Amino acid sequence: MPRRKRIDTSGPTLFDVPNEPVPRAVQIGRLHRYLSTAHKAHLIQIYLDLFVYVAKHGTYIDGFAGPQDPEQLDSWAAKRVLESQVRPKRLHNFFLFDAKRVQISRLRQMRDRLPPLPPPLRRRVEITRGDFNEAVVNFLKKGDIPIEPTFCLLDQRTFECRWSTVEALAGYKPEGTKIELFYFLPIGWLDRAFSATTKDDSLASIAAWWGRDDWRSLENMSNRDRAQLFTERFLELGYADVKPWPIYSDAGSTRVMYYMVHATDHSEAPRLMRRAYERVGLGAPSTELQLEIEMDLLAPPDPPTPDFPEDLFGPQGC
Ligand SMILES: C[S@@+](CC[C@H](N)C(=O)[O-])C[C@H]1O[C@@H](n2cnc3c(N)ncnc32)[C@H](O)[C@@H]1O
């Protein structure tokens, strides 16, 4: 089949090919920005500010929580999220996991340096060392997650997060809304990672990441098709809306480095993510940003949707 001609447009769509329709439950319109990897942690922080403004409370799980670059602490998602959740409406519960001892001490140090909350506000921060794929089984079995809106970041490097872990998180709540997932899907170096992997145990970890033996079907596939396929895999888990948010190699570049796949049951969540995506890195001081977020939530959303309900996610997270 002949390749489609790329059309010149003012900004990227969710996929990096402009103007091609993609199946999605909630229409959110065109993106006007190219976010790069330096923006990821900020995107998560702003999204959770919006999420909690609407949900009023919630739980944050981070399966791969240690800093990617200990020299760049502003790009560390867990730190940004914990430091920003200081208002009365906020996430209260944080469950952070990492496999490496050194990352666990960085997480503990970051937790111990958090400014105390004024009483009676409280936060619970639990840090667990271990392979998240194993630890998540016990964690979910213990039922430690309060019944409230829950967001889980799966920010792996390449193939560390097994598909069975994604399934366990998606299947945790027997009814109501599922745990919302924000899943790192490597794209920029996937072909290299596939071809560099030859040892049996590494091949087994790719199969576990994909969750099936037919992972070789991902080879020789376009990035757009891979993102589409992953979107479908998450939809098969029963999520109402799944969108792969593109993160580019540099600001202004059109090369997608990876997607952050957002799987949610909340009908407003994709619009909140879009708002966050459009605001990241604009350099507004946080008070200004808060004001903007509040004004934004009070204003009619774009594209037009019904008014924001009193408590979108419901007191029981459903
Ligand atoms: C890409 S980094 C995470 C980046 C981080 N979210 C940030 O905002 O900077 C991946 C982290 O996962 C940890 N890790 C790798 N394999 C793991 C596993 N199986 N279980 C838990 N943590 C793991 C690494 O030690 C590393 O800290």
29 lies in some domain: no
String of DSSP letters for 124-141: EEEEEES-HHHHHHHHHH
Residue 16 vs residue 128, higher pLDDT: 128
Query: Considering only CA atoms, which residue is closest to atom 4 of ligand 1?
Result: 68
Average pLDDT of the segment spanning 147-156: 95
308 lies in some domain: no
Going from the C-alpha of 148 to that of each of 17, 151, 170, 315, the distances in angstroms are 37, 10, 15, 7
240 lies in some domain: yes
Q: How many domains does the chain have?
A: 1
**Rounded to two decimals, what is the model's pTM?**
0.85
Pairing of strands 256-264, 241-248: antiparallel
Tell me the CA–centroid distance for residue 99 and ligand 1, in Å: 7
Mutate to test the pocket of ligand 1, among 48, 62, 64 (most ligand atoms within 8 A of CB): 64
The parent domain of residue 259 ranges over 37-189+219-298
Pairing of strands 180-186, 150-154: parallel
Weakest mean pLDDT among 23-27, 120-124, 159-163, 300-304 = 300-304
43 lies in some domain: yes
Average confidence score pLDDT of the chain: 82
Tell me the CA–centroid distance for residue 64 and ligand 1, in Å: 4
Tell me the CA–centroid distance for residue 7 and ligand 1, in Å: 38
Q: Which atom of ligand 1 is nearest to the CA of 131?
A: 20
185 lies in some domain: yes
Per-residue model confidence as pLDDT tens digits over 215-263:
999 998 988 889 999 999 999 999 999 999 989 888 777 788 999 999 9
Amino acid identity of residue 312, one-letter, is: L
9 lies in some domain: no
18 lies in some domain: no
Q: At a CB cut-off of 8 Å and minimum separation 6, what does 72 contact?
A: none
Report the pocket of ligand 1 as residue ranges, CB < 6 Å. Answer: 41, 64-68, 75-77, 97-100, 103, 131-133, 155, 157, 160
Query: For the domain that residue 251 is a member of, what is the CATH number?
Result: 3.40.50.150
Tell me the CA–centroid distance for residue 103 and ligand 1, in Å: 8
String of DSSP letters for 278-310: HHTTS---HHHHHHHHHHHHHSPPSS--PPPPT
Q: Which atom of ligand 1 is nearest to the CA of 40?
A: 8
Tell me the CA–centroid distance for residue 23 and ligand 1, in Å: 31
